[in-house]
Amino acid sequence: MELIAIVKEAWGWTGLEPDQIVGDNDFGNLIVKDQSGRYWRLCPEDLYCKVIAQSREELDRLSQDQEFLGDWYMSGLVQQARERLGPLRPGFKYCLKIPGTLGGEYGGDNLATISLSGLISASGDIAQQIEGLPDGTHVKLSIVG
């Protein structure tokens, strides 16, 4: 399945109608252009997908914002992951075994690698399941293989 189709299937519930993937990082974050020309950030480790720019011009301005760039490139976390897990294989990304939103540590033993398609699918599924829960709600994460 193409990545656009995976994004639509996993994250379409947010209102995203993906048209084009315009960027990605080593942790599988995506910048996705939707069918109306808006730009979304899909952030698997924090289980969100939201509009970050209404137009290409807004995205270009955002891409010069140092705070956004620091968050986007995740340099420290990428370096730690590379040291612990080695370089990424083609089609794979670093990830958090337990997403940060669910209390997972940003580093250490919580780091892993996963296929980009698997990461996008799993994070979208988890995000949809916890959508609307109040902060602090206890959840049980069950991995069924």
- Of the candidates 73, 34, 71, 64, the one whose C-alpha atom is nearest the C-alpha of residue 51 is 34
- The pTM (predicted TM-score) of the whole model is 0.94
For 1-28, how does the pLDDT look when each residue is reduced to its tens digit (9 = 90+)? 799 999 999 999 999 999 999 999 999 9
Rounded Cα–Cα distance for residues 59 and 116 (Å): 23
pLDDT for position 133 = 86
Which class for 143: exposed (0-12), middle (13-18), buried (19 or more C-beta within 10 A)? exposed
Query: Which element (helix H / strand E) includes 71?
Result: helix 66-73
pLDDT for position 145 = 63
For 104-141, how does the pLDDT look when each residue is reduced to its tens digit (9 = 90+)? 999 999 999 999 999 999 999 999 999 998 888 888 77
Rounded Cα–Cα distance for residues 111 and 101 (Å): 15
Going by their DSSP bridges, the two strands 48-53 and 39-43 should be labelled as: antiparallel
For 53-63, how does the pLDDT look when each residue is reduced to its tens digit (9 = 90+)? 999 999 999 99
* C-beta separation of 95 from 88 below 8 A: no
The two three-digit tokens of residue 8, written as one number: 């639509």
pLDDT of 143 over the 90 cut = no
pLDDT for position 134 = 86
For 45-98, how does the pLDDT look when each residue is reduced to its tens digit (9 = 90+)? 999 999 999 999 999 999 999 999 999 999 999 999 999 999 999 999 999 999
Rounded Cα–Cα distance for residues 7 and 48 (Å): 12
